[in-house]
Amino acid sequence: MGGARRLLVLLPLAALLLLATAAGATAGVTSGYRRKPEATADMPLDADVFRLPHGYNAPQQVHITLGDQTGTAMTVSWVTASEPGSNTVAYGRSPKKMEMSAQGTQTRYDYYNYTSGFIHHCTLTGLKHGVKYWYAMGFGHTVRTFSFTTPPKPGPDVPFKFGLIGDLGQTFDSNSTLSHYDANGGSAVLFVGDLSYADAYPLHDNNRWDSWARFVERSVAYQPWLWTAGNHELDYAPEIGEATPFKPFTHRYPTPFRASGSTEPLWYSVKIASAHVVVLSSYSAYGQYTPQWTWLDAELRRVDRKVTPWLVVLMHSPWYNSNGYHYMEGESMRVQFERWLVDAKVDLVLAGHVHSYERSHRFSNVAYDIINGKATPVRNLDAPMYINIGDGGNIEGIANNFTKPQPRYSAFREASFGHATLEIKNRTHAYYEWHRNHDGAKVVADSVWLINRYWMPTHDDSN
Ligand SMILES: *[C@@H]1O[C@H](CO)[C@@H](O)[C@H](O)[C@H]1NC(C)=O
Ligand SMILES: *[C@@H]1O[C@H](CO)[C@@H](O)[C@H](O)[C@H]1NC(C)=O
Ligand SMILES: *[C@@H]1O[C@H](CO)[C@@H](O)[C@H](O)[C@H]1NC(C)=O
Ligand SMILES: *[C@@H]1O[C@H](CO)[C@@H](O)[C@H](O)[C@H]1NC(C)=O
Ligand SMILES: [Fe+2]
């Protein structure tokens, strides 16, 4: 605790001073808020957040995600360290009466000289929307019980609050981000990639995948997180004989990809309350005719804005980002897909990767071809708002090298850690807030009312 506090001390410089770069409707803001630029350390392996549950072979690293497209199924995952144990999950509507049960599967994998524990996945089916369920796994003295509430049935005016987190890692800052999110109380997390940063360790020490899952259990065992793959999920290390991309990630973190007609766990969609959420993979092929391209083409046609008015797209590497860090890395995917997203009137694109916060106005850059020379982003009310929330607080530290001047598409940017929430109110209005981690205080540093692109397409909400 004391250590955490000391590490999170902020320089007392102009805490809320905002520097507007120019006058006028599109003037962007570069926040003058300063925090020390160096990364905080990863929490030590004996930190409280990594503690093992009591009992021999007790289920650990419990996490849930949607098991179908809308949440009438939930997939529960956990690890047993010493022996296979049971694959069964008991569940029901009261902790005293978990009368239903489901049978899961288990898997393990090797990574260089690391061998994982027994990784269990079990999908609970036949759930009702908007209902609290209790569930338990393990046996004898090691039974562990948790609960979750299924999302409400999709419909045009169904309020729902999402948490938006990216690039979390397992530092003291990561713990601060998760604590702030816990205090803000969303009902599901849209996670934009880069989970554990185990690959920052020699030989991609996969014990850090285990410790990360114990760290986030306090949230993700109780509400579904929807996963996006980031570059730190690749674990591609042919120099040590590990040439299968995404091996640890895909063994540990299932996604309900089949339910949305996808053929790979790395791209899929879900429908939660009034939102249709599309998850893309920045690190899988997306060129014309590839599986991801083919799927997205069909998927965008399946979206029914009369049922799910809010169309949100998740990816790891941002298309619009004015930080020097990872500059232009998302460019080839933007060129491939931006036209589709503008035509589909996507409300919001969420990305991570760049370890700072940035929100755009509604801009597009879709006029360009290789002869007309028109490569300038322009205001476009059909375009998504782009939000980069790669500011979860991982070991690589903050990205504090914004390009100058601030480009016209950039509405607000700040180099500090935090998370965001998206509160859908009804078919036309959603309230978005970005929360800066500020020494235990709950600080809202940026907010905007989103106006739906399908139902109110001419209303400019991006100031
Ligand atoms: C894996 O290899 C590394 C480097 O040789 C060594 O430090 C580590 O103890 C080994 N781990 C296991 C589980 O053998
Ligand atoms: C992490 O945060 C939780 C909740 O705020 C706190 O109880 C715990 O002590 C923190 N752990 C570390 C290592 O900072
Ligand atoms: C900051 O970003 C610019 C690109 O915008 C790059 O040329 C420069 O080297 C970066 N500086 C540092 C210190 O990373
Ligand atoms: C939608 O929600 C907004 C914000 O709460 C509210 O101002 C508006 O009246 C609502 N629209 C309808 C049709 O209820
Ligand atoms: Fe990344």
pLDDT digits (tens, 9 = 90+) for 88-99: 999 999 999 999
Report helix, strand or coil for 259.
helix
pLDDT of residue 346: 98
Report helix, strand or coil for 307.
coil
Report helix, strand or coil for 342.
helix
For ligand 4, mutation pick of 161, 428, 447, 461 (most atoms within 8 Å of CB): 428
In the structure, which protein residues have their CB atom closer than 6 angstroms to any atom of ligand 1? 113, 203
pLDDT of residue 441: 55
* DSSP string covering 16-72: T-EEE-SSSTT--EEE------SPPPBPPTTSGGGPPPSSTT--EEEEEEESSSSSS
β-pair partners for 423 = 161, 431
How crowded is residue 397: how many other Cβ atoms within 10 Å of its Cβ? 17
For ligand 1, mutation pick of 45, 201, 203 (most atoms within 8 Å of CB): 203
In which element (H, E) is residue 387 found? strand 385-389
- Tell me, using a 6 A CB cutoff, whether residue 185 lines ligand 3: no
Q: Determine if the pTM surpasses 0.75.
A: yes
- What value, to the nearest 5°, has the Cα angle with vertex 78 and ends 74 and 80? 155
Q: Which two structure tokens, joined as six digits, stand for 401?
A: 């090298």
pLDDT of residue 164: 98
Catalytic positions, written as ranges: 326
**Is-contact 397 356, C-beta < 8 A?**
no
Which residue minimizes the CA distance to atom 9 of ligand 3? Answer: 324
pLDDT of residue 35: 62
Give the integer Cα–Cα distance in Å for 189 and 166: 10
Report helix, strand or coil for 377.
coil
Distance between Cα 327 and ligand 3 center (Å)? 9
**Lookup result for tokens 């500059």:** 327
- Kindly state the DSSP code that residue 266 receives in the 8-state scheme: T
Q: What are phi and psi of 386, to 5 degrees?
A: -105, 130
* DSSP string covering 187-253: SEEEE-S----GGGSGGG-THHHHHHHHHHHHHHTTS-EEE---GGG---BGGGTB-STTHHHHHH-
Which residue minimizes the CA distance to atom 2 of ligand 2? Answer: 175
Which residue minimizes the CA distance to atom 14 of ligand 1? Answer: 113
Give the integer Cα–Cα distance in Å for 364 and 35: 32
For ligand 4, mutation pick of 158, 424, 425 (most atoms within 8 Å of CB): 425
pLDDT digits (tens, 9 = 90+) for 209-258: 999 999 999 999 999 999 999 999 999 999 999 999 999 999 999 999 99
Distance between Cα 340 and ligand 4 center (Å)? 29
**Is-contact 96 110, C-beta < 8 A?**
no
In the structure, which protein residues have their CB atom closer than 6 angstroms to any atom of ligand 2? 1, 4, 43, 47-49, 172, 175, 179
Closest ligand 2 atom to Cα of 178: 2
- Tell me, using a 6 A CB cutoff, whether residue 244 lines ligand 4: no
Neighbour order of strands in the sheet with 441-451: 225-227, 188-191, 160-165, 418-424, 429-438, 441-451
Region label for 395, one of left (φ > 0), alpha (ψ between -120 and 50) or beta (otherwise): alpha
Q: What are phi and psi of 7, to 5 degrees?
A: -65, -25
**Is-contact 194 317, C-beta < 8 A?**
no
Give the integer Cα–Cα distance in Å for 423 and 296: 25
pLDDT of residue 49: 98
Give the integer Cα–Cα distance in Å for 262 and 245: 18
Report helix, strand or coil for 122.
strand
Q: What are phi and psi of 378, to 5 degrees?
A: -130, 155
Region label for 195, one of left (φ > 0), alpha (ψ between -120 and 50) or beta (otherwise): alpha
pLDDT of residue 326: 95
pLDDT of residue 7: 32
Distance between Cα 401 and ligand 3 center (Å)? 6
Residues 6+ apart with CB under 8 A from 303: 276, 311, 344
Residues of the chain with confidence (pLDDT) below 50: 1-25
Give the integer Cα–Cα distance in Å for 271 and 362: 24
